[in-house]
Amino acid sequence: MQNLIKKGSEITLTIDALSYGGKGISRYDGIVIFTNNVLPGQIIKAKIIKKKKSYLEAIPIQIIKESTFKQKEKCNHFYDCGGCKTQDLKYEEQINQKENQIIEALNHLGKINVKEIEPIIKSDIIYEYRNKMEFSFSNSRWLINNEKGLKDEKPKDFALGLHPPRRFDKIVDVDNCEIQTKLANKILALIKKESIENDLTPYDIINHTGFMRNIVIKHPKYSDQIMINIITAYKQDDILIPIVSKLKKLSPNIKSIINTINDKKSDSAYGMPQKLLYGKKFIVENLNEFQFEISADSFFQTNSIQALNMYKYVRKECKLSGSEIVYDFYCGTGTISIFVAKNAKKVYGFEIVESAIKDAKKNALKNKVKNTEFHCGDLSKMLQNYSNIIKNNPCDILILDPPRSGLHPKTLKEVLRINPKKIIYVSCNPTTQARDVREFINSNYIMGKVQPIDMFPHTYHIECVITLDKKND
């Protein structure tokens, strides 16, 4: 039947569910079809745009029947911005879809027979939950529908906002982002206004000219402190003085203003030279009794409330008695290590990013946690680089929190050779997590609880913690 459906064919589809990634799933005469920008429960007329070996891809051209899960989106930029894909889907159904995506990944990719998992830990706050947002300047503004000819049409050669989907060369000019705080939106508006009034040229990503590149606003929930990182293409901080002066007066919560100079063609400003324009080089976030420093380059979970819930859950799943040796792979700035340390004999954190390890050591010192040790190195060469630690302090519990791509095959082999009694696997990608969990099951581990955590409402992203225990020999 797939051969009978040609590229360009128009067919009627019922959207059964959303896949991980946000595309709608439907079936037509047994063929799986993925469609972008649809909701579960919709009946649509769709046009086939791609034919693959085992599935088809389509775009919606008409909604025949609306979904009962549809709601009015809150954001004015929803249909242009690439930030929130499911803001028009009722939150309860977002949760339902995410739970199903994890079950599907474990069943089909992990080949694990899973019928149900732990109820997802919902986010109590579904707007204004992000403690970090990054916005880009551009001299090529994305034109929104029906704006041509408007009296108050914005200039086309200036934008400060977010990329539309699949367009690196354009920026949607964002006036208000519903998933960052109200104060962060005021900061965004002030910087935009001052940049225009002071003729600060936006960066041209094609020709690599211009001055203003990016703005990063960090506003952690519990400390309520703010860091603003103004990323420019070259050093000329004197012309930033008017912006800095206005920002200092805007709120006493602004504790740090930094200018990062990114003179490379790459958009990443990580590790580039920085100059402190106001306040301190870092802000802090408070999670229970712990305080963590956040610098311009350091990674911190973007939803503080859900990060706290996740760390508490990981600590509970460790079931520590005080005699255990814990290894924390991909430990970052040491948040999980520090969280579990008071109930463990010793925690060893490992991470390949040197600056993160420096921050982890600072955080342990700041919180007077004395039974942690942090090491910078390649996790795929653990037995080679850390044989003394592994030999003298055998691992009881291993916490894994790898990047979206999951465990490198060499790292997975190292984990199996270290032979921990328990593994707590934290992941932001259910597909790579399912793949890796299958490898652990094949290597004599039993999968226990599967606990999803909704860290990112209105997006397809989902955090999941899976516990694995070594079978008794």
d(CA 193, CA 190): 5
Question: Is there a contact between 102 and 427 (Cβ–Cβ < 8 Å)?
Answer: no
d(CA 10, CA 49): 10
d(CA 398, CA 340): 12
Question: Is there a contact between 383 and 390 (Cβ–Cβ < 8 Å)?
Answer: yes
d(CA 143, CA 139): 12
Question: Is there a contact between 170 and 164 (Cβ–Cβ < 8 Å)?
Answer: yes
d(CA 310, CA 319): 15
Q: How far is CA 71 from CA 66, 286, 303, in A?
A: 10, 35, 23
Q: Which amino acid is at 412?
A: L
Rounding to the nearest 10 degrees, give the CA dihedral for residues 127, 129, 131, 132.
-50
| Residue of 81, 318, 395, 428 with catalytic role | 428
Q: How far is CA 19 from CA 115, 166, 407, in A?
A: 17, 19, 22
Radius of gyration of the CA atoms of the chain, in A: 24
Question: Is there a contact between 372 and 338 (Cβ–Cβ < 8 Å)?
Answer: yes
- Give the dihedral sign, CA 168/169/170/175: positive
d(CA 464, CA 455): 10
Known catalytic membership, residue 428: yes
d(CA 9, CA 253): 56
DSSP string, 150-198: -TTPPPTT-EEEEPPTT-TT-BEE-S--TTS-HHHHHHHHHHHHHHHHT
For tokens 């973007």, name the residue.
302
Catalytic residue annotation: 428
